[in-house]
Each structure stands twice: as structure tokens, then as C-alpha cells.
Amino acid sequence: MPPLPSPRPAWAAHRLTVRFGGAGDRPLAVVAGEIDQDCAEDLRRALESALGDGADGTAGIDVDLRGVSFCDCAGLNALLRVRLHALDSGRTVTLSAVSGQVGRLLSLSGTEELFAAAA
């Protein structure tokens, strides 16, 4: 009997990818695909992991959502929870770019200001 194929990564199964990059005290997370209840918790864990505990000097995280074609309230909740996690240790979460769909969700929910960069 042939071996079973190895399972796909969670991100691929949910049509969502997250790539991390950037330098300095603010990593950049580039998110693409669809954020829904099936993968919102995975996204939250990935972003919180990139934030670390703040002991490494990380000031926060920048998130690029321009490649997100769909985001429901579970996705918004995940982003808000990441923001609270960051704030608990004096750090921030900034949305560096958003797609039209994500921008509309943030606007309708009145949460866009919560992710704005400090002036």
C-alpha cells in the first residue's frame, strides 16, 4: 500500500498565505487570500508569534492586507485580538495597506483608526 500524501499546510488549505519580512523593530506580514472563520485563528497565532514577547525590541508589526480578497467578522476579530495582544506589551499593529474589501469592513465597523500609524 503506498504511503498517504502529507497534509497541506493550514494556510494552503484555507486559501490564505502570510509571508513575513522587513527589518528593524517592525516586521512586515504580507497577507493574501481569504480570511474567514476557518483560518482566522491561524492568522491570529501567526501574527502574535511574529510579534514575540517584545523582549527582542520589536515595537510592533505592520500588516499588508492589499492581497486579501475576502475578510469576514472572524478575520476582523483576529486582527483586533492581535492588536490587544500588542498593546498589552506597549507595541502596535499597523495596517500598511488594505484591499478595497478590507477597507470597507474597517470603515463599516469603525475600526480603521485603531490600526492607523501614529502621526
Q: What is the mean pLDDT of residues 105-118?
A: 92
Which domains, ranges and CATH numbers included, belong to the chain? 13-115 (3.30.750.24)
79-98, pLDDT tens digit by residue?
999 999 999 989 999 999 99
- Give the Cα separation of 64 and 94 in Å (integer): 9
- Give the Cα separation of 119 and 115 in Å (integer): 12
- Give the Cα separation of 39 and 84 in Å (integer): 19
Task: Count other Cβ atoms within 10 Å, centred on residue 110.
Answer: 8
pTM of the model: 0.84
45-65, pLDDT tens digit by residue?
999 998 876 667 678 999 999
